[in-house]
Each structure stands twice: as structure tokens, then as C-alpha cells.
A and B are shown apart, each in its own frame.
Chain A
Amino acid sequence: MKKNGLKAWLYLLPSLIFLGFFMVYPLVDVLIYSLEEGYNSASQTFTGVGLYNYAYVLRDPYFMQAVKNTFILVMITVPVSTGLALLISLGLSSIGKLRELYQTIYFLPYVTNTLAVGLVFMILFKKTPYTDGMVNLLIGLFGGRSVDFIEGPYWAKMFVLSFYTVWIVLPFKILILTSALASVKKDYYSAARIDGASGFKIFTRITVPMISPMIFYLIITGFIGAFKAYSDSVALFGTNLNAAGMNTIVGYIYDMLYGDSGGYPSYASAAALILFAIVFTITVINLLISRKKVNA
């Protein structure tokens, strides 16, 4: 028994060393940074220890804006992308001919670079001296007033950002859900039809419960991914996100470290730990719910 335990630790050692170096050490380091008040990166000195950095970050309007943006993004994109992916995968699994072709088409955005997709979104939404962008042309066709989606009102920018994010994450979710749907045995559907269930009832009572582990997996990873969003915002609104009012928490952290007004690792660390706390809490809640609901 004891010998076995020793062996197990020996086998685990390489990965433990890696984890220690690249996860535990940075985490501890960030924690220390976040507690050092008045840290100066040039002289590597600080004036005291305390929670001042947290207080500063939480009072910083840019940070609060970033938190608000991130939460809105999470609350919109996670349910919308998961729901849409479910609908599309249902559609995909019910067509017979050309299914592979459609699956490939739906998967294309996943293998496309985010910045390239950003460019396409620019063409769709950006106003330039020459054109109002394709979407505005369409709005014009239906008699609406044109909207500046990139530099205009907050809701318009949020709309584009959410749209973009959903578009980026959709293919992966479709891929996961189509394979989850394919793994549900046909017999259950036959049995449900014999039991007199309507199509909708079969969906809610048979299909969804059967693939619920995968749905929850997507929701949890979706939450984590959306909380860590940054590059999507950059792709659409450029690097000066605070000015655009479209910063995210990770964006704020980056700016605090390397941005034009950067050089504050203590503030960045405090913000990072706040993000960590948020993601951790949400994930734990998710897991608790899924433990209750999901049928493994």
C-alpha cells in the first residue's frame, strides 16, 4: 500500500513540477503582487502590505465598465450561442443528404483566424466615408435609420461584440452537440413515438436530458471562455478599449500591465484575482446545479 503510494507520487512528479512552475508559482506571485502597496517595478520596492490595490481597482470606473461589459457579454452570448448551436445541430442531424457538407460549412468559422473574422465584421458593420457598411445598407432598404455600430451608441457596439462572440464560439458547440446527438440511440426515439410523444415532447423529455452532460460542459466552458474574452473586443474596436468603453476584465488587466497607461502590476494582479474569484464562484455554482440535473 505504502510502496504503491510512493510509486504514484513518482509518476505524478513531472506533471506536478510543471503545474508548480506554471500555475501555482504564478498564482502565488500574483497574490503577493496584489497585496504589495505602491510597488515600483523599476526599483522593485513597495511601501506597505494591504488591500489598497483591490480598493483602487474596485473604485476605478474603467474597471467597473470592464466588469459590466464582461457580464453583459457572458449573459448574452453563453445562452444564445448554446441555444443556437442546439437548434442548428438538431437541424443538421435531421437532414439526410449532404450532411457532411453542411457540417463542414458550419465548422469553417472555427478554423478561421479571429482577426480575419473581425475584418469581415468591419465590412459588415463599420461606417467609412464611402459606405455605411452592409448591415446599414440593409437597414436603409427597410427604411430604418443607419446606426454606427463601431463608434456609435453603447448598445450597438455591445450588439456587434455579442454577435461576433457568438459567431466565433458557435462552430465548436455545434461540433460537440452534433456528435452528442448522434450518440443517442435511435431506439429511444422509437420508444418515445410508440409511447405517443409529440416531436416537441421528445425533444424536451428525451433528447435534451440525454445530451445534458454535453450541454452543461458547453455552458461551463462557455462561461469561463466569455469571462476571459479580450481578443474579440480588440478585433472590433482596436486596442484602446477604455476609450471605446468596450473593455473587458482581461483587457483591463492587460492595459494595467502593458497598455499606454500601464506599468501597474499590483493593480493588474488585484484585478486578475477578482476575475479568478468571479469565474471560480460561477463555475462552482454551475457544477452544483449540473450535479443535481445532469444524468451521467
Chain B
Amino acid sequence: MNVRLEGLTKHFPSRNKKSKEVVVAVDDFSFEIPDGKLVGLLGPSGCGKSTMLNMISGLEKPTSGRVFFGDDDVTDVPPELRGVGLVFQNYALYPHMTALQNILFPLENLKGAKKLSKDEMLKRANEAARLVQITELMERKPSALSGGQQQRVAIARALVKMPKILLLDEPLSNLDARLRLQTREELRRIQRETGITTVFVTHDQEEAMSISDMIVVMKKGVLNQIGRPQDVYDDPVNLFVAKFLGNPPINVFEGSVRGGKLFIGDEDVMDAEGVSDAPVSVGIRPEGFVPKEGGRFTCDLVGVEVMGRDTSVICNHPAFDGANIRAIVSAENRIDTEKETVSFDLKPNKVFLFDKETGRRIRPGEENR
């Protein structure tokens, strides 16, 4: 089932009772999640991701805007009737029930035509348990399970009623790096197998990029960009999105465009035809640097880290806005570490120009501002 959000907005009353100000947790959010896709909802802490999920599940009422499941407007339907599966950030397993009882609970609440017999319930619960590989742990209470096992129980509990929509709120945040990787692949596999429309909340861009069909990047409650992970990475609409995606992160410089040339410092580093003269922020992906004797862009060399396949060139530049520039180059390039400086040519498709004030992307041929 596809999920459509129309102008979804959520205001919270300010914590400070005296001021009349409100917290805008989600601001005029519209997008559609296609049927059977896994969407990664991505943004920094406090940007309104959980609030979004809660509005889709029905636990929070939107201040304005509508939520549609398929063709049905479910904005005023309470959560117990929406039938979505939700895995909470902290799992929220019922501590007094065993894993099996936890998984059975959603089935016991089915009513009317969907009501199941005891045997059917057990069968379904065991199926769900097999899917997340916890069949040996069914008699244990949550307190006797590890974090990763609890998380799988939570996923099984969300899946067992075969929801049309599955919502996951940072479900991997409590796991160690290995388990994280393993479980996210498992999640992806389960999602593919079941074809459930899924929203996966995370603030880890790598996690979102690796498993999502589509990512939604939000900032302070506002939708910034939506698209396939690679597309968003290759074509960010603003500086925030460009900075948020990618590891190591994009390198941002102060620069300016003059007469169809992009200048960083005094060097004209790249052609920028069709861009009108203005000061700009220049974002260069780490893989956008090509070391070349006599290249157009020269930096002070700080060091080189060899990582086998790639080499990480660490350098510095007066116009750079962070601590160290990190360029990832193929290991075949030999960098002379004796030298004070290193020169690069830039790959045009890895260099993005942004408006200095608004951070909006400037594309050649477009009138900026």
C-alpha cells in the first residue's frame, strides 16, 4: 500500500509555559511512498523524524495536513485501527511477557473476519520468529535477551500481523557496529521478501543510503530532498543535503565565480560556464580530486593515509571551512610526501556550487537567486 502525506505539519506547545511560541516539529511535509518500497527518512537529531513516524502510525495527531493509506484518508483513524507495524527506537517490548507472548499479542487483538484460532496464531508467530531467526529464544523474557535479540523480537512483533506498512524508528541505534551491519541486511532481506511498504528512520546517512530504495532528507522539520540514494548523493539540492550525505563528508570551500571560471583563493580551479559572477560555496566530494602534476588546484599537503584500495590525501587550504581536506584517490596515484603542496584537477560532476547565503545549489545556465 502506498502512503501519501499532504502538507503534514506538527506544532508542539513550547516547553516554557509562559511563552506562546510553538515548536514546529514537522513543517508542511508532502511526499508519497510508493507501494512496497523501503524509504529511509534521514536527518539530524531533533529534526522531527520520530514525530513524522508517529503521525503516520497515528500516535500523534497532525496540527494540519492529511495522511493517506492508498486511497483512504486515515488522518483521524486511531493507531489501533490503522494496522501499521512499528518498531520503537527502544523496542518497547512488554517486559512481563515472553518473546512468544510479545509476538502473539498483536494477533490476539485481531477482530472480526481477521480473528485467528490459537493454532493459527502460534503458526504465524513461529513463522515471524523464523524470519528474524529467534526461534530458540521464544520462551525468554526481554530482560534475558541481548539488545540485538530484543530488536528482532520487536521486528517480529511488528511483522506478525502482516501489516501493509512497517515503520522503523532508528531500530539499529543500540547495536554494535557488526550487529548493525548484519541486522540491516536482514531487515532489507525481510522487507524484500514480504514487500511491505517500509519507512526506516535513521540519522546515519550510510545506513540509509545502503538499504533504501529512496531517501528523504529533512532538516528542522522541512523536507529538503527526496530521491534515490545515488541521485541525491550525486545531485544535492542544497549545501545541507550535500554535507549530510557522504562519508568522508564533502569538502566545502569559500570561492567565487568570475567570468565563467570558478576561483578558490587566487586559482581558477575549474570552468564554470553559464554561472553568473557571485561569491559561492564550493562543495567537492572526496572522490572529486584527481592528483596531477601542475593541476589547477593546489593545496598544502598534510599527510597521506594508505588504505589498500584507496589512498586518503589529507591537505589544507586557506579557503577551506573545516579542519582538514580529505581527498580519496586511487592507490595507483603516488603522492610525493616530501613535497609541501599537492596539485589536483577536479572532476566537474563531483563539484557543486551553492549560493553563499541561502546554501541553494547553483547550476550552470540557471539564474541564481
Contacts and interface: CB of A to CB of B under 8 A. Distances in A.
A198 B90 contact: no
Interface stretch (B76-84, B176-184, B344-352): B76-84
B80 A191 contact: no
A187 B86 CA distance: 12
A193 B78 contact: yes
Interface string B72-101: 000000111101111010101111100000
Interface in A146-196: 185, 187-188, 190-196
B92 A195 contact: no
Contacts, number: 58
Contacts of A193: 58-59, 78-80
B105 A205 contact: yes
Contacts of A205: 105
Nearest to B154: A191
A198 B112 CA distance: 14
Given A196-B80, A196-B161, A198-B80, A191 B92 contact: yes
Nearest to A199: B80
Contact of A196 (B59, B83, B92, B96): B83
Contacts of A190: 59, 79, 88, 92
A209 interface: yes
A185 to B, nearest CB: 8
Q: Tell which of A187, A194, A198, A295 has the most Cβ of chain B within 10 Å.
A: A194
Interface hub of A193, A205, A206 (most chain B Cβ within 10 A): A193
A245 B352 CA distance: 95
A2 B59 CA distance: 59
Contacts of B106: 195-196
Interface residues of A, number: 19
A181 B247 CA distance: 46
B92 A197 contact: no
Nearest to B59: A190
Interface string B89-131: 0101111100000000110111000000000000000000000
A99 interface: no
B109 A196 contact: yes
A201 interface: yes
A242 B238 CA distance: 90
A295 B96 contact: yes
Contact of A194 (B84, B93, B95, B110): B84
Given A188-B94, A295-B95, A295-B96, A201 B109 contact: yes
Given A187-B90, A190-B59, A197 B80 contact: yes
A195 B157 contact: yes
A210 interface: yes
Contacts of A195: 80, 105-106, 109, 157, 161
A181 to B, nearest CB: 15
A191 B85 CA distance: 9
A236 B121 CA distance: 56
Nearest to A205: B105
Contacts of A209: 96
B79 A210 contact: no
B348 to A, nearest CB: 48
A54 to B, nearest CB: 44
Contacts of A212: 96
A191 to B, nearest CB: 4
A206 B95 CA distance: 10
A190 B59 CA distance: 7
Contact of A198 (B57, B59, B96, B109): B109
Interface in A251-271: none
Interface in B126-161: 157-158, 161
Nearest to B90: A187
A187 B88 contact: yes
B96 A194 contact: no
A185 B105 CA distance: 18
A210 B105 contact: no
Contacts of A295: 95-96
Interface in B256-274: none
Nearest to B160: A195
Contacts of A188: 92, 94
B79 A194 contact: yes
Nearest to B141: A295
Contacts of B84: 194
25 contacts: A187-B92, A188-B92, A188-B94, A190-B79, A190-B92, A192-B94, A193-B80, A194-B59, A194-B84, A194-B158, A195-B106, A196-B80, A196-B81, A196-B83, A196-B109, A196-B110, A196-B161, A198-B80, A198-B109, A201-B108, A201-B109, A205-B105, A206-B94, A210-B95, A295-B95
Given A194-B59, A194-B80, A206-B94, 16 more contacts: A187-B88, A190-B59, A190-B79, A191-B86, A191-B94, A193-B59, A193-B80, A194-B85, A194-B86, A195-B80, A195-B106, A195-B157, A196-B106, A196-B109, A210-B95, A210-B96
Interface of A: 185, 187-188, 190-198, 201, 205-206, 209-210, 212, 295
Interface of B: 57-59, 78-81, 83-86, 88, 90, 92-96, 105-106, 108-110, 157-158, 161
Q: Which 7 A-B pairs have the closest CB atoms?
A: A295-B96, A196-B109, A187-B92, A195-B106, A191-B92, A209-B96, A193-B79
